[in-house]
Structure 1
Amino acid sequence: MKKILLSLSVLFAMSANAQLLDCSELFISEYIEGPGNNNAIEIYNPTNTSIDLTGYSINRYGNGATTGPDTWPLSGNLAPGQAIAIGNGQLDSVWVDPPGYWSLPIDPVFYNACGLHGSGIYPTPFYFNGDDAMTLEKGANIIDIFGKVGEDPGNAWTDDASAGYTDANGGTWWSKRQTLVRKASVKKGITLNPIVFNPTLEYDSLPDGTYSGMGTHSCDCSISTINEKNDASYVMYPNPVNIGGTVIISSNTKIEKITLVNILGEVVLFSSDNIISTNILSKGTYIVNIQFTNGKIAENKLVIK
């Protein structure tokens, strides 16, 4: 018990350093816990400036854990008023032993609705199943929480106030087999671990397996369009990448070409799709120049190790 309380106090201390103003920071805008492994977290930029995703991560605290979350680091850029859904990427059936069962691939419709996909290798954060707390973190600071870190609600968090919104007394599941969309009135994330997590306060519930709204979000934050022509949203993963690995750049806007430049300013690679193969490259730091078909241009640092 002392260890759990200590872990939670550290968590609260980290969160306390990240008190947020309305419309000032990324937050979780949609939570999808669908059939099988069709799970995704959507993040939204409510600010008037593009946000570099380097240093941000999505984390899963499984089954009441307070430490050692499964972590998915982000890299890329999210333009003002834009959202991107990041989901499970398991494309094949996988035998999991122990305990001994077939983990089924995700639905192609769900796959296409995601802007970016996890590796599909357990345990990434996108194997949550309704009783896991999810966080969006920036460095060591929590900037949004879905659920309650340190609490196992049973099968799911529910609408039952009598049980602290766990399923101890029944109640309707809200965090399992649901698509939950953040209400438009919500303008910032939850930075302090809640005493109880009532999912009905900030989320609207859509039927199980609803993917049609992924990648877009309605919010009452006022977004300026002054910088719209220069801003482009994309996510690049993995970054850093091990030499020989493949980097994928995902964007809602079609990519025209990618240019990779080394620290000497030399162009070392051209690509006409969204994939960078590092097989012929050396370890080091590079600048990725991304040109989109709508004329927008973005740059991002890539580390090959």
Structure 2
Amino acid sequence: MKKVILSLSCFAVMASAFAQDCTKIFISEYVEGWGNNKALEIYNPTDQPVNLSEYFVARVRDGLGLSSLTAQNCVQLTGVLQPHSTHVGVLDKRNPAGTGQEAPIWDSLEVKADAFYSAVYNNNNTWYWNGNDAVALFKGNASTPLSTSNVLYDIMGKHNQQTAVGWSTVSPYDGTAGGANDIIVTEDHSLIRKPGIKRGLTIQEAAAVGYIFNPLEQWDSIPAVVNRLDENGNPILNNQGNNVVDGNWSTLRWHACECDPASLGVDAMNLDEIKLYPNPTTGAFTISGLDKVATIEVYNSLGQEVTTIRNNTQTSVSFDLTEKTGIYMVTVTDHSGRSATQKVIVK
């Protein structure tokens, strides 16, 4: 018990200086989808690039506390996070022949990833969260998660709180209220940080006496999948007569935040409306919803420019990369200079 109190106390002291708005990275989207479709989006609200190798993500399992963390449920991040940009980490399940616990993530989530984590459960289980696990972001070293030099930057969920399935929409927000309005939103859902949230949750707040995690206070919730519709807006059915569904991940890879006024401006592009399809593709693909996009750039995996459209005036553009298999990056930029990048797989 003394060790627990010491750890939390030191975390709290070090976190006290990190509560200013728009100065530290935080969790902007949490994905707990069907099967192995798990992802976490980190947002940089500052005007400086951030070296993600100085940070780690932790999975706080099944109502345990932060003091329960081990190197097996913490993982160091990779890459550099540019200003007002996002880093999307996805569970590393990419073997198309995988079954059961090794079932692959969906292609539509794979193309959203900036990095993949926790490939083998027995080596590291961080990215295998379920709805009743809290997910935390620290600055520090994942190999020594209880070190007093580590600083909590954010947490989704509440540590030291056991819920049967996950956190929900009716007080006490642990799924026990019952009724049609008490919906579990941390399982088979995504949570998206509201634009007015400008920083993560500090340890002082997360460990405060009486703190209650109400997921909809800081987050918007969307379901894990959406029905695929035809040109008339009707659901498309498969051979068994069931609705065909797609992963609901259009909000990944960008984040609207008041720390970046350009992301909220009336002249800025709405990335919810921009669609790239099909992806993966055998060569040809189309991008629609481009009414506020000024430039479209396509690069190959070596960073070489394939094609660029400048001074765009079209609402949709098609490309054909037939017989050019590989991974490509498509970057769209609006008239205010805000850009977003999507990965395209040509098979």
Take 1:34 and 1:114, find their aligned partners in 2: how far apart are those partners? 15
**Residue pair 1:16, 1:191 contacting (<8 A) in 2 also:** no
Shift of 1:24: 0.2
Q: Does 1:83 align with 2:86?
A: yes
Give the corresponding residue for 1:143. Answer: 153
Alignment of 1:180-195 (within 5 A): 180-192=191-203, 193=206, 195=211
Give the corresponding residue for 1:10. Answer: 7
Q: Does 1:201 align with 2:217?
A: yes
Alignment of 1:125-274 (within 5 A): 125-139=126-140, 140-161=150-171, 164-170=172-178, 171-192=182-203, 193=206, 195-209=211-225, 210-222=248-260, 256=302
Take 2:26 and 2:259, find their aligned partners in 1: how far apart are those partners? 12
Take 1:15 and 1:254, find their aligned partners in 2: how far apart are those partners? 45
184-193 vs 84-93, greater mean Cα deviation: 84-93
Which stretches of structure 1, 4 residues or more, deviate above 3 A after TM superposition? 92-95, 252-257
Letter in 2 for 1:142: L
CA offsets 1:15-69 (integer angstroms, 9 cap, x no match): 3412320000000000000000101110000001111112200110111222124
- Distance of aligned partners of 1:254 and 1:145 in 2 relative to their CA distance in 1, 3 Å threshold: farther
Q: Does 1:27 align with 2:26?
A: yes
Letter in 2 for 1:39: K
Letter in 1 for 2:116: H
Identical-residue share of aligned pairs (%): 29
Shift of 1:102: 4.3
CA offsets 1:239-276 (integer angstroms, 9 cap, x no match): xxxxxxxxxxxxx986546xxxxxxxxxxxxxxx99xx
- Distance of aligned partners of 1:65 and 1:255 in 2 relative to their CA distance in 1, 3 Å threshold: same
**Residue pair 2:55, 2:139 contacting (<8 A) in 1 also:** yes
Shift of 1:103: 4.2
Letter in 1 for 2:193: R
Take 2:299 and 2:12, find their aligned partners in 1: how far apart are those partners? 34
**Residue pair 1:118, 1:124 contacting (<8 A) in 2 also:** no
CA offsets 1:269-288 (integer angstroms, 9 cap, x no match): xxxx99xxxxxxxxxxxxxx
**Residue pair 1:144, 1:189 contacting (<8 A) in 2 also:** yes
SS of residue in 1 equivalent to 2:89: strand
More RCO (CA 8 Å, sep 6+) = 1
Using structure 2 for the length normalisation, give the TM-score: 0.59
Take 1:77 and 1:104, find their aligned partners in 2: how far apart are those partners? 29
- Distance of aligned partners of 1:159 and 1:137 in 2 relative to their CA distance in 1, 3 Å threshold: same
Report how many aligned residue pairs link the two structures: 226
Bigger Rg over Cα: 2
Take 1:35 and 1:149, find their aligned partners in 2: how far apart are those partners? 24
Take 1:141 and 1:178, find their aligned partners in 2: how far apart are those partners? 28
Letter in 2 for 1:40: A
**Residue pair 1:34, 1:178 contacting (<8 A) in 2 also:** yes
Shift of 1:174: 1.1
SS of residue in 2 equivalent to 1:17: helix
Shift of 1:173: 0.3
| RMSD of aligned alpha carbons | 2.8
- Unaligned runs of 5+ residues in structure 1 are 96-100, 225-251, 258-272, 275-305
Using structure 1 for the length normalisation, give the TM-score: 0.67
129-138 vs 11-20, greater mean Cα deviation: 11-20
Take 2:223 and 2:166, find their aligned partners in 1: how far apart are those partners? 16
Alignment of 1:62-77 (within 5 A): 62-66=61-65, 67-69=68-70, 70-77=73-80
